[in-house]
């Protein structure tokens, strides 16, 4: 039994072998009990007939010998039966020991038998791993002295009083420093899991969601830039855009176009000796999770191994609801195939050097959603992000995310489970509300971040900051022109590696006007263009126009000249984007002057017709020059507007860049050339 179970390829094989063995044993027992008696009856009847007919003494002698043989056979079978029953009594112990040994290869089965998987991992792996960290910390005693470590631990305890920080655990900033530049593979198969892994990241409560063609490196840097400098690397966890697992693993060109950890091509699964550059750079882009969509475990592992040296975890997309995901059989359209999902996650959990996480949507009932979440966690997911909408909630039927189901998961999953909530986060204040109502560990924002990349940051401590508008009615927020400037500066410094052009301070009423700055006619020759080279097609350059349409979505209908100028921008043409910026700044300057002179309408007054969503819109509305969320119409209102929207071309929809299909805008592919390949993927 031990040999058979050890050779089993999976926990399921081991379980089926156990059932088969027990059934075979019962059949054997039945045969051993009844066969001797049937044999005796048959021989006795035959021999009696022969004696009556032949009256042969020799036959009587043979009958006696046969009876002796049957008696011996009966005794032998009874002994075998006794031994077999003893083995049957020991069988549960044998199966238990064999499954315990199998746990190292099929740990998900262990999780199905017990909810104490995290405790098992922490007891068997984390203690050993922690000792390795402590040993390396002693080696780096020049940098991390005991006094410094104690001070850092005290600071982390103040930041996270409920995080369960103990004296035996190093501060997260130390563990990240020790791990930077290496993968977990250098320590063998052992790796942190679950809450232990989450705490090693600093227990971040703010999460930038994975967004196709939207959560690229420049946008991640922009979002991080609004947090306090010393908190940027510990309080915000960011995801990359979703990458297609098969295409990413097969084509070096796809990897180079979408993930650039170094300046060289990503051709090796081992960490490169080249200096860190953009994606996953420990100095500017951590913590970082890389998300993939896939439906075949081997293809997912192949892709994940390329990014493992440059990220903290790999995430599986189980939430994309778009039609392209249905065609490719990934995202939320895998949620009906639990066996495949289990295989995908468990493959990474058992064979990848970094932890695996998953992002899912809720199902039709909370009970079914709970079972779904348990299955994902049992496969080996360290963190579970839950979008509070169902697969059908998209486009005109998006509606509101259901936080009550996320709360139900929090209440019914083990306390050590790390949960993130996604949905209904429209401004900074919603983050604390979500945590209070759901009890999750962190809050994720996607669409809210696109319209306000400073959504994770409160008001700046500098009261003189010109980037932040402080209204008299409490309608505060970051100015559009300030966000636009900061975004372009990040593109200049990190992507193009150029010095940003000099600009005057953001305008406030009463400032001296620099007339020449608002003249755009001579701008084309004053701003250098991106240099054409092998890696000019940076993902950060390709999506600039789309990001700015999302940022300016609420004003393009009232400022068509800005919309038209933005629609004419091309990839890498920084002069064109500078022109749009100056047009925006000129419009904001005029609006601020009018408000100062009491010539404009009250900032809180709406120019739109009232609708059933008016109360929600009033809550989040700000002056038009301030970042504000896009409020999706609730389903009844959206359905009324749908026929009109269907008659619009993509160019007439101000939220979608010209020439770009709406479904591609919301959940596009990783590149334009791969569209047909993804449609055909199985």
Residue with the larger pLDDT of the pair 278 and 524:
278
The CA distances from residue 256 to 267, 315, 542, in Å, are 9, 20, 14
434 catalytic per annotation: no
Each residue's pLDDT tens digit, 313-342: 999 999 999 989 999 999 999 999 999 999
Residue 674: pLDDT above 70?
A: no
Q: Which of 136, 137, 131, 164 is nearest to 150 (CA)?
A: 137
Residue 281: pLDDT above 70?
A: yes
Q: What percent of the chain has pLDDT over 90?
A: 51
Each residue's pLDDT tens digit, 351-384: 999 999 999 999 999 999 999 999 999 999 999 9
Q: Which of 579, 591, 577 is nearest to 626 (CA)?
A: 591
Confidence at residue 637, expressed as pLDDT on a 0 to 100 scale: 53
Q: Which of 350, 272, 333, 332 is nearest to 104 (CA)?
A: 350
Q: Using pLDDT thresholds of 50, 70 and 90, give the confidence band for residue 3.
A: low
388 vs 20: CA distance, rounded Å = 42
Instruction: Report, as an integer, the average pLDDT of 434-453.
Output: 97
Q: What percent of the chain has pLDDT over 70?
A: 65
| Pairing relationship of beta strands 442-445 and 206-208 according to DSSP bridges | parallel
Instruction: Report, as an integer, the average pLDDT of 251-266.
Output: 95
Catalytic residue among 126, 293, 311, 320: 320
Instruction: Report, as an integer, the average pLDDT of 85-101.
Output: 69
Instruction: Report, as an integer, the average pLDDT of 640-652.
Output: 44
Residue with the larger pLDDT of the pair 85 and 217:
217
Other CB atoms within 10 Å distance of the CB of residue 474: 7
Residue 266 · residue 257 · CB < 8 Å: no
615 vs 601: CA distance, rounded Å = 20
442 vs 477: CA distance, rounded Å = 23
The SS3 assignment for 488 reads helix
Q: Which of 190, 197, 147, 191 is nearest to 172 (CA)?
A: 197
Residue 672 · residue 652 · CB < 8 Å: no
Confidence at residue 557, expressed as pLDDT on a 0 to 100 scale: 84
Q: Which of 682, 680, 675, 671 is nearest to 259 (CA)?
A: 671
Confidence at residue 556, expressed as pLDDT on a 0 to 100 scale: 85
Q: Which residues pair with 418 in a beta bridge?
A: 383
Residue 262: pLDDT above 60?
A: yes
Average pLDDT over all residues of the chain: 78
Confidence at residue 180, expressed as pLDDT on a 0 to 100 scale: 39
Q: Using pLDDT thresholds of 50, 70 and 90, give the confidence band for residue 401.
A: very high
Contacts of 446 (CB under 8 A, 6+ apart): 209, 210, 211, 214, 422
* Kind plus residue range of the DSSP H or E element containing 479: none
Cα radius of gyration (the chain): 33
Each residue's pLDDT tens digit, 110-141: 444 443 444 444 444 444 444 544 554 444 44
Task: Give, to the nearest 10 degrees, the angle between helix 338-351 and helix 297-307.
Answer: 40
202 vs 205: CA distance, rounded Å = 9
């Amino acid at each position: 039994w031990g040999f058979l179970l050890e050779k089993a390829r999976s926990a399921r094989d081991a379980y089926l072998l156990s059932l088969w063995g027990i059934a075979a044993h019962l059949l054997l027992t039945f045969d051993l009990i009844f066969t001797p008696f049937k044999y005796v009856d048959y021989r006795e009847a035959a021999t009696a007939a022969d004696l009556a007919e032949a009256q042969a003494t020799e036959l009587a002698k043979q009958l006696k010998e046969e009876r002796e043989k049957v008696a011996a056979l009966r005794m032998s079978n009874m002994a075998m039966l006794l031994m077999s029953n003893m083995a049957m009594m020991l069988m549960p112990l044998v199966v238990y020991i064999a499954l315990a040994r199998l746990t190292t290869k099929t740990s998900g089965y262990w999780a199905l038998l017990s909810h104490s998987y995290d405790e098992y991992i922490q007891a068997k792996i984390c203690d050993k791993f922690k000792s390795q960290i402590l040993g390396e910390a002693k080696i780096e005693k020049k940098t991390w002295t005991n006094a410094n470590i104690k001070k850092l631990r005290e600071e982390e305890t103040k930041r996270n009083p409920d995080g369960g920080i103990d004296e035996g655990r190093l501060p997260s900033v130390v563990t990240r420093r020790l791990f930077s530049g290496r993968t977990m593979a250098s320590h063998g198969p052992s790796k942190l899991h679950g809450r232990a892994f989450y705490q090693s990241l600093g227990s971040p409560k703010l999460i930038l969601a994975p967004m196709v063609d939207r959560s690229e490196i420049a946008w991640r840097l922009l979002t991080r830039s609004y947090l306090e400098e010393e908190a940027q690397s510990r309080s915000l966890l960011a995801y990359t855009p979703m990458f297609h697992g098969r295409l990413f693993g097969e084509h070096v060109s796809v990897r180079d176009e979408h993930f650039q950890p170094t300046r060289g091509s990503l051709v090796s699964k081992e960490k490169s000796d080249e200096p860190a550059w953009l994606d996953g750079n420990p100095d500017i882009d951590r913590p970082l999770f890389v998300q993939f969509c896939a439906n075949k475990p081997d293809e997912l592992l192949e892709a994940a191994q390329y990014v493992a040296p440059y990220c903290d975890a790999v995430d599986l997309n189980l939430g994309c609801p778009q039609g392209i995901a249905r065609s490719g059989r990934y995202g939320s359209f895998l949620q009906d195939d639990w066996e495949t999902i289990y295989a995908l996650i468990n493959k990474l959990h058992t064979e990848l050097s970094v932890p695996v996480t998953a992002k899912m949507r809720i199902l039709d009932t909370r009970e079914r959603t709970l079972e779904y979440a348990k299955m994902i966690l049992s496969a080996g997911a360290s963190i579970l992000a839950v979008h509070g909408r169902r697969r059908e909630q998209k486009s005109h039927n998006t509606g509101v995310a259901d936080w009550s189901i996320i709360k139900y998961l929090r209440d019914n999953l083990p306390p050590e489970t790390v949960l993130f909530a996604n949905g209904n986060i429209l401004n900074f204040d919603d983050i604390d509300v979500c945590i209070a109502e759901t009890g999750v560990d962190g809050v994720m924002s996607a669409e809210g971040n696109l319209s306000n990349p400073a959504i994770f940051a409160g008001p700046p401590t500098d009261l003189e900051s010109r980037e932040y508008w402080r209204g008299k009615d409490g309608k505060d927020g970051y100015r559009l022109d300030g966000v636009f400037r900061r975004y372009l500066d990040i593109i200049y410094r990190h992507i193009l590696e150029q010095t940003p052009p000099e600009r005057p301070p953001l305008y406030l009423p009463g400032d001296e006007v620099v007339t020449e700055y608002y003249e755009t006619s001579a701008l084309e020759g004053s701003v250098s263009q991106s240099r054409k080279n092998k890696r000019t097609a940076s993902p950060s350059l390709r999506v600039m126009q789309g990001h700015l349409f999302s940022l300016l979505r609420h004003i393009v209908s009232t400022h068509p000249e800005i919309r038209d100028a933005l629609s004419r921008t091309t990839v890498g043409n920084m002069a064109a984007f500078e022109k749009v910026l100056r047009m925006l700044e000129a419009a904001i300057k005029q609006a601020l002057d009018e408000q100062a002179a009491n010539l404009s309408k009250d900032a809180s007054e709406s120019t739109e017709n009232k609708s059933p969503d008016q109360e929600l819109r009033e809550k989040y509305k700000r002056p038009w020059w301030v970042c504000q969320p896009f409020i999706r119409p609730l389903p009844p209102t959206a359905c009324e507007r749908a026929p009109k929207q269907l008659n619009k071309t993509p160019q007439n929809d101000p939220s979608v860049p010209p020439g770009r299909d709406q479904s591609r805008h919301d959940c596009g592919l990783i590149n334009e050339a791969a569209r047909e390949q993804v449609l055909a993927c199985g």
